[in-house]
């Protein structure tokens, strides 16, 4: 059997054991340039394409892992800082009659803070619980209403945040541009 392969290799000029050997531009002349024997393994366009596909799959996997980690880290930061934020809002509310906290700016900051906390709670109770698969019976019971509730709350609190920031910006603008009339 080995001699048969050796005879074929000598007759054709190709080694039968190494199918990835480049036989040069003169091999398979009758097949045309697109049918020529490929270059050595790892140097063809197909091998480069396979390597780039492999590299892109590795990059996609790495980016997916990175974004999952970042999302988890940001969620943990949100959960840790939300009670602190609520305590700051409660402190501002309880001390709203003091001389330094009587101004409209602090009242506006309380309203923006309430919208922020509403957004955080909406993210946790509607989006993250469903994403993580916690309490699936709630989402099964609500059915399609759960996504409507999440989107409605997201729109409401997002609009409240945007309008609150706009009003705070106008307040700060008037405090800077017209300081004497702003005190009245």
**Measured torsion, CA atoms of residues 105, 111, 112, 118, in degrees rounded to the nearest 10:** 170
Residues in the chain: 184
Q: What local confidence, expressed as pLDDT, does residue 128 receive?
A: 87
Rounded CA-CA distance 33/40 in Å is 16
Q: What local confidence, expressed as pLDDT, does residue 19 receive?
A: 45
Q: What local confidence, expressed as pLDDT, does residue 50 receive?
A: 60
Q: Which of 3, 30, 27 is nearest to 13 (CA)?
A: 27
**Measured torsion, CA atoms of residues 25, 29, 34, 35, in degrees rounded to the nearest 10:** -110
Q: What local confidence, expressed as pLDDT, does residue 20 receive?
A: 44
Rounded CA-CA distance 121/111 in Å is 15
Q: What local confidence, expressed as pLDDT, does residue 18 receive?
A: 44
Rounded CA-CA distance 81/87 in Å is 10
Is residue 178 classed as helix, strand or coil in its secondary structure? coil
- What does pTM read for this prediction? 0.62
Q: What separation in angstroms does the CA of 59 have from each of 49, 62, 69, 74?
A: 15, 5, 15, 22
Mean pLDDT by 10 residues, the chain (184 residues): 55 50 50 52 55 78 91 90 95 92 91 95 88 85 89 94 95 88 64
């Amino acid at each position: 059997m080995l001699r048969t392969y050796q005879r074929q290799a000598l007759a054709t000029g190709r080694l039968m054991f190494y199918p990835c050997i480049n036989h040069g531009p003169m091999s398979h002349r009758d097949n045309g340039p697109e049918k020529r024997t490929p270059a050595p393994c790892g140097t063809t366009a197909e091998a480069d394409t396979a390597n780039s596909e492999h590299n892109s799959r590795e990059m996609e996997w790495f980016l997916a892992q990175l974004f999952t980690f970042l999302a988890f880290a940001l969620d943990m930061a949100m959960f840790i800082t939300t009670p602190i934020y609520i305590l700051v809002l409660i402190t501002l509310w309880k001390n709203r009659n003091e001389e330094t906290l009587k101004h409209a700016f602090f009242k506006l900051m309380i309203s923006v803070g309430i919208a922020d906390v509403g957004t955080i709670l909406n993210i946790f109770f509607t989006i993250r619980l469903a994403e993580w698969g916690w309490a699936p019976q709630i989402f099964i019971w609500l059915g399609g209403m759960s996504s409507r509730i999440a989107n409605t709350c997201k729109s409401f609190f997002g609009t409240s945040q945007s309008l609150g920031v706009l009003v705070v910006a106008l307040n700060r603008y008037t405090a800077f541009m017209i300081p004497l009339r702003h005190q009245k």
